[in-house]
Amino acid sequence: MQRKLWQKLNNWSKMQPISMHVPGHKNGTIGDMNFINPIYDITEITGFDDLHHPEEVLYDSMKCIQKHEDYEAVFLVNGTTSGILAVIQAFQSIQGDVCIGRHSHKSVFNALDLGRQCAHIMHTQVSHQTGQYNQPEWSSELAKKGKLGVVTYPNYYGETFDVQKLIQQFHEAHIPVLVDEAHGAHFGIEGFPKSTLEYGADYVVQSYHKTLPSLTMTSMLFIHKNAPYQERVKHWLQTFQSSSPSYLFMASLEQAQGFYETYQSDVFFEKRQILIKHLKDCGYTVLEVDDPLKLVIRKRGVSGELLKSAMEAQSIFVELADAQSVLWVLPLWYTHDRFPFKVLLKCITHIHIERSGQSQNHKQAKLYTEKGRYTPEDMSEIQTIPYEKALGCTLAQHLIPYPPGVPTMYKGEIITKNMIELIRYWHTQKMRVEGMRNGKIKVKDDL
């Protein structure tokens, strides 16, 4: 057998890649990853407890995770997705709508589909800085229909908003709140935004692997002491998580928590300022967003994809590229870390961008911001029609403009006049939209 993946990984590692993307251990240069030893890759043998019925060492380990005194921590070995699925499924028998923003992760829609639950899509503001979805807006109608609020905080680019106010508005209407804080496991460290754990959210899910030194797929679910349906959530966690959880994953979460609790951010902010100055000296525009761990980097007249390719040629691998920018996720630097900071600065100096034949007009797709409704439906009967003829039809596939790659119009939504106008804009601008081909989209065949 040819070990294609192993060969690919081995060849990639020989490039001495510099990680400006997740996971937070940055190719093993941040935190202590020495626990990754095959002897620790065990199963539920005597003395090592059971994640799905913790009474011994795993119970004690999770009890030691103290980010906030009002919350219980639960290990997630199937990623933040498993926590989102479990919480939303726990509300399946409750009457009402799940209230979501337009930048919700696809796991939210998978959960809605699994439980055949409807969602009210809140009007969602777009950031003037990055052009990405950011702030969902409360409306009085949510108080009448809502049974659960699902809030994304921060957005992928590290932008925040007054989430405390939104949580308060939900709670005043007696609606519990799940926060998808996947990109905020490091929040609460000095100099960084506060976590929604400080604002009393009922359930908070954090992807430890994204920004802390933890293995990919490791996350944490925090359950408030007054959160409703706690036993239901724990029941569904057994469904959506592996029955053979990795002890390396769980040890990784424990190690990452120790890193978080003892971390001092002084060195991080010193190196961050050096890096930003160096980027600017080399002709880049650097957007500093609310989360200091994220940098949005641009070069005048250069698309994000071209910039990404030029950086990769110098072994700098970024988190993502959009029409105008690349996004970097910085390491949580500290004294005596092993991250190749000086090498990074040198590589930035050597980036060469070939502009010949490249368009100078790199537009970000406009996003659909209006409120709407998501209804899981059987889409077995589908037809493909020109978007101009789709008024009043039920969309059968998410429409996802690239960039930014976030579902903007959802399967199950009734297509409105304003939607058609936005689709026309995408089409005339020749923007890549997943779910649309040659000006045609898929709708439910109601004939």
Q: What is the pLDDT of residues 165-194, one digit of tens each?
A: 999 999 999 999 999 999 999 999 999 999
126-146 residues labelled b (16+ CB within 10 A) or e (exposed): bbeebbbbbbbebeeebeebb
pLDDT tens for each residue of 101-122: 999 998 999 999 999 999 999 9
Pick the closest to residue 308 from 21, 87, 110, 46 (CA basis): 21
pLDDT at 339 over 90: yes
> What's the CA gap between 261 and 212, in Å, rounded?
11
pLDDT at 293 over 80: yes
Task: Kindly report the CATH number that applies to the domain delimited by 38-262.
Answer: 3.40.640.10
Q: Which fold has domain 377-444?
A: Molybdopterin biosynthesis moea protein, domain 2 (3.90.105)
- The mean of the pLDDT values for the chain is 94
CA-CA-CA-CA torsion for 113, 119, 123, 124, nearest 10 degrees? -40
The tens digit of pLDDT for each residue in 65-82 reads 999 999 999 999 999 999
Q: What is the pLDDT of residue 195?
A: 99
pLDDT interval class at 359 (50, 70, 90): very low
Average pLDDT over residues 421-425: 89
77 or 323, greater pLDDT: 77
What distance in Å separates the CA atoms of residue 383 and residue 37, rounded to the nearest whole number?
52
**pLDDT above 50: residue 358:** no
Please tell me the least confidently modeled range out of 16-30, 355-369, 399-413.
355-369
Number of H helices, E strands in the chain: 13, 21
Q: Is 266 helix (H, G, I), strand (E, B) or coil?
A: helix
Determine whether 46 is exposed, middle or buried from the number of CB atoms within 10 Å of its CB (0-12, 13-18, 19+).
exposed
C-alpha distances out from residue 333 to 29, 179, 248, 271, Å: 9, 27, 24, 8
Angle among Cα 207, 45, 56 to the nearest 5 degrees reads: 65
Q: What is the pTM assigned to this prediction?
A: 0.92
Written as six digits, the tokens of 131 are 């052009």
CA-to-CA dists, residue 313 to 176, 307, 317, 353, 386, angstroms: 47, 10, 9, 10, 41
| Measured CA angle at 80 (ends 157, 224), to 5 deg | 100
> What is the pLDDT at residue 53?
96
Which residues does residue 434 pair with via DSSP β-bridges, in sequence order?
400
What does the pLDDT read at residue 403? 61
What single-letter amino acid sits at 447?
A: L
Domain over 264-349 is classified CATH 3.30.428.10? no
Q: What's the pLDDT band for 410 if we cut at 50, 70, 90? A: confident
CA atoms within 13 A on the CB side of 264: 7
For 394, the 3-state DSSP assignment is strand
At residue 322 the predicted structure's pLDDT band, cuts being 50, 70 and 90, is confident
Rounded to whole angstroms, the Cα distance separating 309 from 313 reads 6
User: Domain extents for the chain?
Assistant: 38-262, 264-349, 377-444
The SS3 of residue 80 is helix
Tell me: the pLDDT tens digits for 11-66? 999 999 999 999 999 999 999 998 899 999 999 999 999 999 999 999 999 999 99
Q: Which two tokens stand for residue 148?
A: 């659960």
The tokens describing 234, both together, are 């724990």
> What's the pLDDT band for 445 if we cut at 50, 70, 90?
confident
